[in-house]
Structure 1
Amino acid sequence: MRKKEILRYKNVDGINWHLRRENDGGVLIVNGGKIIELNKSAFNYVRAFMKKNCSDKKTIWYMFFRHGVFPTKAKKDWLELKESLLTASKGCCEGAGIKLQVEKKEYEAPIRVDLALTYRCNNDCFHCYAGGNHKTDELSTEQWKKAIDKLWQFGVPQVVFTGGESLIRDDLEDLIHYANSKGMITGLITNGRLLKEERVKRLESNGLDFVQITIESHLEDVHDNMVMKKGAFKETLMGIKVALNSQLRVTTNTTMTLLNAKTIIDTVEFLLGLGVKNIGLNGLIRSKRGKDKEGLNANQLREVLQEVQILTEKNSAELIWFTPTCYLAFNPLKERLGTKRCSAASTVLAIEPTGRIIPCQSYFEGLGNVDIDTLEDAWNHPLAVSLRERKWLDEICNSCVHVLACGGSCPLEYEERSVW
């Protein structure tokens, strides 16, 4: 596999850029998430900046000697481009003169890969998309490091450690440090129960960038019933408080089901009161245990999310909506939630504890094994290509005016469109 060049820049404001070449130019990946597509000229400028020790002066002269752009023009073009990219990186694309496109293009490699280090868990959630707490074979520390090597060589700028509960593994900090040393952004998805003060300090010191903590309700009995562990709420709450007292970017996430629907608004108010500034919500994921559970329908989601938006905006917080939906039933653009569509094998992949590569954390169909197969082969596996090209959509969806943005919703729910 030919190594893909990927460059990283981090400024004093904490903005992380990863630059990766694509066939028709390149992509600038901001903080591991936002994707800004660059034409060939813009790519050359940003690449020169990163290659020349992030010096404006060296960038200008490099563009002159390497690409024949006269210094006066190179200076004007580069400083304008740089300012626009920094403005867009802070969240203001319109102010930067950068237009967001609804249609998604195909990328040559994932933007993020989720690493499920284990399926062991100290919770046993009734709606778990991974099937709840269970043991499987697990890659060793060295095998995971080799997997991280492969991901970086393939041009992947971000890994998220997940499970199960990856804090159960005592090599988590070692793996975070290793990924960070490559230049990757690192995240952790956790139930927060093991986020004690000393552990959080170790996670920080080894380079963890952000943590997402699952909390299902502000009511102890509702939370404990959903995660099926008595006493879990108290530990999760303490984990959130400890994380908020660190330098980590902290996000919470809550799965909206019939069991906690009536508590969502109060839960958001509770989290805002703790100081949480990034509130994540998602619908039920219809995989494994989630298949037979009842989530909220489109009207119920809309009603709750509109109230949550008012709360988060009032408190200068961000509402993050994760779930792809059928736009005819629930259009996130109309609800001011941004474009949402399935990212499986489109911008993300996941790797299970055994090393099996799958399209996303909840789509349990194999694309290969990271221990023996190349990531290029997994990315170009017929199933991955089918998911990217939406070959599974029927005539009704393909003829829909929203198809480019919607992408047909989540393929796991496609056969159950009555959900929406």
Structure 2
Amino acid sequence: MNRITQCLHGRGTVSGVMHHRHAPQEQVPGRYLAWTGNRRPVVFWNLTDRCNLSCFHCYSRSGPGRDATGELSTAEALALIDDLAAAGVPLILFSGGEPLIRDDIWELARHARRKGIRMALSTNGTLITADIARNIRESGIEYAGISLDGATPATHDRFRNAPGAFGRSIAAFSHCRDAGLRSGVRITLTTENCGELGALVDLAKTIGASRFCLYWLVPTGRGIDAYHRLQLGP
């Protein structure tokens, strides 16, 4: 018979859920966290406003012109991870800006792993080479959500203000797959790319994405400037 939870949640099964239901948090595979009974919050951590791209729908105005002003230092970030572990937080999603720009990302990830916290990464994918994909996996990060804003280079690169970004992001999926790192597609759906949604789902299957996540346009940062033009109605 079809394993319904595998269809809905990638690789989870009912028997797997039951087996891990009462295990200590650090022993539960990330794909089963949703069913462990842990009611602690998942933390989305914007590590930096720095980014190698300047996307016109960015909710934080991140970009190449930003510096490290206002970021937590490495010592402060490690201390925050200690606090999150003490609070029983099950998962940290490192985001930004582009989190791979931080030189200490691997140190932070290894520390979170030692503290028993699961980790995921939200990235534009353009910096993920074969070596970086292996570093992500070896640091303890179990999943990389890679942003795609369209099924074609023309659409994606226009949103990202960076010719060639589409090709580098697509290549990132291959690097993640080769490194044994789960990856998924993240898309902010707008009036200018909603027509490519079906094609993007097909593309996600072709490149081996394990998840497909839809997001709405957030009216903050540069997203404010284009909100009335890009926001979808009912």
Which TM-score bucket, shorter chain as reference?
0.7 to 0.9
Residue in 2 aligned with 1:400?
A: none
Choose between structure 1 and 2 for higher RCO, CA contacts under 8 A separated by at least 6 residues: 2
Paired residue for 2:137?
204
Secondary structure of 1:245's counterpart equals helix
The equivalent residue for 2:42 is 112
Aligned pairs, number: 209
Structure 1 counterpart of 2:159: 226
| Alpha-carbon shift at residue 32 of structure 1 (Å) | 7.0
Q: Give structure 2 stretches of 5+ with no counterpart.
A: 1-15
SS of 1:223 mapped into structure 2: helix
TM-score (normalised: structure 2) = 0.80
Q: Which residue of 2 aligns with 1:123?
A: 53
Amino acid at match of 2:51: C
Deviation of the 1:36 alpha carbon: 5.0
If each structure's helix is expressed as a fraction of its own residues, which one has the higher value?
A: 2
- Indicate if the aligned counterparts of 2:130 and 2:175 stay in contact, CA closer than 8 A: yes
In structure 1, the partner of 2:231 is 295
Q: Which residue does 2:34 correspond to in 1?
A: 34
- Partner residue in 1 for 2:184: 251
Say if 2:116 is the partner of 1:180.
Answer: no
In structure 2, relative to structure 1, the CA distance for the partners of 1:177 and 1:227 (3 Å cut) is same
Q: Does the CA-based 8 Å contact 1:114-1:160 persist in structure 2? A: yes
How far apart, CA to CA, are the structure 1 residues paired with 2:31 and 2:75?
Answer: 27
Q: 2:216 aligns with which of 283, 304, 310?
A: 283
- Among candidates 265, 269, 280, match of residue 198 of structure 2: 265
Counterpart AA for 1:270 = L
- For each residue in 1:241-277, what CA deviation from the matched residue of structure 2 results, as whole angstroms up to 9, or x when unmatched? 2112232221111111111111121121122112223
Q: 1:143 to 1:287 in 2, by over 3 A?
A: same
1:146 corresponds to? 79
Cα distance in 2 for partners of 1:230, 1:148 equals: 36
Alpha carbon RMSD of aligned pairs, Å?
Answer: 2.5
TM-score, normalisation: structure 1: 0.46
Please tell me the residue identity of whatever aligns with 1:297. Answer: G
Deviations 1:43-99 (A, max 9, x none): xxxxxxxxxxxxxxxxxxxxxxxxxxxxxxxxxxxxxxxxxxxxxxxxxxxxxxxxx
Match of 2:171 among 238, 242, 248: 238
Structure 2 counterpart of 1:228, which letter? N
Which SS does the other structure have where 2:103 is aligned?
A: coil
SS, match of residue 222 in structure 1: helix
How far did 1:132 drift?
2.9
Shift of 1:29: 10
**Deviation string, structure 1 residues 348-381 (Cα, Å, up to 9, x no partner):** xxxxxxxxxxxxxxxxxxxxxxxxxxxxxxxxxx
Task: Report the Cα distance in structure 1 between the residues aligned to 2:136 and 2:206, rounded to whole angstroms.
Answer: 25
- 1:287 Cα deviation from its structure 2 partner: 2.2
8 Å contact kept, 1:32–1:157: no
Residue 137 of structure 1 deviates from its aligned partner by: 2.5
Residue 151 of structure 1: how far off its partner (Å): 0.7
2:175 and 2:57 map into 1 onto residues whose CA distance is 26
- Quick one: which amino acid aligns to residue 34 of structure 1? A
